Structure 1
């Protein structure tokens, strides 16, 4: 799974968990007082959950950034190699043309 897809998956899991928890609370056969206590505890835990999610997203973003940087460096290296190879081939072709022009002509060519 690519890093971008794993980040999206992680976000989907967190959102799905939150939706499931809210739905469970609304459907659960608990008395109102217990439900309110549970909601209060859940609300108290929410900042920690958000902080964990933010940390996970930062890690995913960092990994994606590192992967992009590596791909860019690889591409740049291949581009440099291609340019160098093209320059060498051009120089060889030029040297061959110069050598042909400097080669002595035989009497039969005139």
Structure 2
């Protein structure tokens, strides 16, 4: 989403700069010949300007992509850690329950056990 906003922003910035330049050239007090020369120079510079804009947007997209992959990797690692902790806790709880059940079985067989109720 940020990449799209940045591209739109830079595109609008370039369009505004081009329109401003053309308007300035057309209302400037110059002869027609001088104005046409300046317009030709500006028109000749547009492909280079568009290429620079494209390169800038591509670099920004690459940075965002790297950042997204890094965030994904960090999230995935935290998820793996959480799953491993959950598995360990479940195994410990299972072991505690087995031990309690074993103790209860032993107590139920011993008539002198304090755990038996009358």
TM-score strictly above 0.5: yes
Contact (CA 8 Å) 1:7, 1:57: kept in 2 or not?
A: yes
Q: Residue 27 of structure 2 aligns with which residue? A: 27
Gaps of 5+ in 2: none
So what's the TM-score if we normalise by structure 2? 0.79
Contact (CA 8 Å) 1:7, 1:60: kept in 2 or not?
A: no
Aligned residues: 108
Contact (CA 8 Å) 2:7, 2:57: kept in 1 or not?
A: yes
1:12 Cα deviation from its structure 2 partner: 4.2
Contact (CA 8 Å) 1:25, 1:35: kept in 2 or not?
A: yes
So what's the TM-score if we normalise by structure 1? 0.84
Q: Residue 91 of structure 1 aligns with which residue? A: 91
Bigger radius of gyration among the two: 2
Q: What is the SS of the residue equivalent to 2:61?
A: helix
Higher relative contact order, structure no. (Cα contacts within 8 Å, ≥ 6 residues apart):
1
Gaps of 5+ in 1: none
Larger mean Cα displacement after TM superposition, 57-66 or 45-54: 45-54
Structure 1 residues 1-110: aligned runs within 5 Å: 4=3, 9-103=9-103, 104-105=106-107, 106-107=110-111, 108=113, 109=116
Q: What is the SS of the residue equivalent to 1:29?
A: coil
Superposed CA deviations along residues 47-89 of structure 1, whole A, max 9, x for unmatched, are 1111111111110110010111111111111111111111111
